[in-house]
A and B are shown apart, each in its own frame.
Chain A
Amino acid sequence: MATTPKKPVARLEVKKTYKLYINGAFPRSESGRVYEILTSKGVSVANPSLASRKDLRDAVVAARAAQSGWAKATAYNRGQILYRIAEMLEGRAEQLATEISLATGVSSKKAHDEVLAAIDRWVWMAGWSDKLSAAFGATNPVSGPYYNFTIPEPQGVIAVAPAESFLAFIDAIAPAIVSGNTVVALVPGSAAIAAMTFAEVLATSDLPAGVVNILTGSHDELAPWAASHMDIDGFDISGISKKKRADLKVAGAENLKRIHHFEGALSPTRIYAFMETKTVWHPIGV
């Protein structure tokens, strides 16, 4: 590209440094690495952090620490926070649409629609928090003087590796956290910019620190570490190509991680996939 001398403008735009989102804070990658996102015309959009496996380790620590508190919050409270995310996102819709369009090259109309869809997903998901027991629980008529019930509970810390789009990222984290899991999201390539702006939404939505942690960079680099991490309970690998899934599942077998991938519309099955059911027995007597 030929260089043309730049002239000073009346007011220079202040650009954002895209960092990571771990434990409610915005650190740079401990590795100091960044990668460049270019427009289709080759213009530099941003230099997001290229997260390392040590960042992953830190994110898992944050997610683990936040998990029991998040799970203990009432379902009503979790639902309100998820709805708050939708509210905050609505206010950032323009900015996110612009960023998505710039980073991915889709039309601004398409980018806008994607953000609106994401907002509606959060509203839909917010309503699930206090219906999961009704949908996935049961009282079981056992043959004997026992009260027996089954309730769904969050699994713990879930890693998600969504495809390279903002909506795919939302579709991975929302069903994981609504039940009380905490998340470490591995956001690939050009999705990083919108994801990190979304982190600012999370930071202002009363979501406790560590419930969602966002690492930007490369699936190839981070996913194997997530798959083998013994303190991660589940892994949503929807954004991983079919031929690369097997290796992750092999690594994940070491702690029998729940590894799933999803296609098609968001459904409650995706919430349930990262829950465990607990069945409780108690005698009935005087």
Chain B
Amino acid sequence: MSFYGIVDGSESSLKHFLAQLPGVDQVGAEARAAMLATRSIKTSSKRWAIDTAISMVDLTTLEGADTAGKVRALCSKAVRPDPTDSTVPSVGAVCVYNDMVAIARTHLDSIGGEHVPVAAVSTAFPSGRASMEVKIQDTQDAIDSGAAEIDMVIDRGAFLSGQFGLVFDEIVKIREVCGDRAHLKVIFETGELVTYDNVRKASYLAMLAGADFIKTSTGKVAPAATPPVVLVMLEAVRDFYSMTNHRIGVKPAGGIRNTKDAIKQLVLVNETAGPEWLTPELFRIGASALLNDLLMQRMKMDDGYYASPNYVTID
């Protein structure tokens, strides 16, 4: 087997490849992310950024208390985030637990939301602590129910103990299950990987194993999608593109709650991976509360006065 002609999938080839990646200096990476956070996005560029961010939201509900009703409401909002303004774009996807996939897909199709894909969190989300058979079954189930995107978690325990081959194999297997039917997003849970060096290694591991997207977090662990973590992942996809000519997407998830945070993410994309990544095909933001803040900021820009949460729908 050969993966992009770079590794053969063996433990030793992975170790060798990951070991030669340059390190990430924590202070330097954080300083760069902080500097980019000072970018001031105003007027027309802000308006463009808000709509772009809306189109990139993976509108998410991942609660034990989720119900079919809540998921249907979420889907309605995903297709028309602002029922009073048809110029607001649909979001990038709806992201739910496996058992809600069919409900979401059916509802989306029934309200003219065929263009909005359903993403399912599979592979024993969020901990990933299950047998491989269960993870495969989990994924298969989600795809069969209509998921076009699979958000899988890696085995952080295996990664942290240096069993890169194990992590790699799991991604490869899930990739096989996805086939042509579903995009694969690989979640690292960067809050558990702790160091930026690990984030960089995990990024390459996932990309080589066939991920379409690399994703920061489950949303269940903090810190999640901090700007420096996203910076390091954007550097990885940029450099992977120059190595392989393949563009891999990035999905920060967790902790991006308002328009300012979202615009910071877009600036990171623009100035790190480059404008080619400023599309929902290559950048998504996993969020729930964010969408309403984007809508309120959009209203403010249109109306000239500050909006109230009373004028956006809560689900």
A and B, direct touch (CB closer than 8 Å): yes
Complex Cα gap A160–B30 (Å): 50
Residue B26 CB within 8 A of the other chain: yes
* A283 contacts B25, C-beta separation under 8 Å: yes
Residue B22 CB within 8 A of the other chain: no
Residue B222 CB within 8 A of the other chain: no
Residue B69 CB within 8 A of the other chain: no
Looking at chain B's contact residues, is the secondary structure mostly helix, strand, loop, or mixed?
A: helix
Residue A146 CB within 8 A of the other chain: yes
Binary interface encoding of chain A residues 130-164 relative to chain B, with 1 for a CB under 8 A from any of its CBs, else 0 = 00000000000000111000000000000000000
Binary interface encoding of chain B residues 17-43 relative to chain A, with 1 for a CB under 8 A from any of its CBs, else 0 = 000000001111010000000000000
Contacting residues, chain B, for A286 (C-beta < 8 A): 26, 194-195
Measured CB to CB, the closest approach of chain B to A283, in angstroms, equals: 3
Measured CB to CB, the closest approach of chain B to A206, in angstroms, equals: 44
Complex Cα gap A284–B194 (Å): 15
Looking at chain A's contact residues, is the secondary structure mostly helix, strand, loop, or mixed?
A: loop
Binary interface encoding of chain B residues 125-137 relative to chain A, with 1 for a CB under 8 A from any of its CBs, else 0 = 0000000000000
Residue of A nearest to B28 (CB): A283
Binary interface encoding of chain B residues 162-197 relative to chain A, with 1 for a CB under 8 A from any of its CBs, else 0 = 000000000000000000000000000000001100
Complex Cα gap A146–B194 (Å): 20
The 6 closest A-B pairs by CB, nearest first: A285-B26, A283-B27, A285-B27, A145-B27, A286-B195, A286-B26
Other A-B contacts than A144-B27, A286-B26, A286-B195, 11 sampled, CB-CB below 8 A, are A145-B26, A145-B27, A283-B25, A283-B26, A283-B27, A283-B28, A284-B27, A285-B25, A285-B26, A285-B27, A286-B194
Chain B residues proximal to chain A, CB less than 8 Å: 25-28, 30, 194-195
| 14 A/B residue pairs, CB under 8 Å, sorted by A | A144-B27, A145-B26, A146-B27, A283-B26, A283-B27, A283-B28, A284-B27, A285-B25, A285-B26, A285-B27, A285-B30, A286-B26, A286-B194, A286-B195
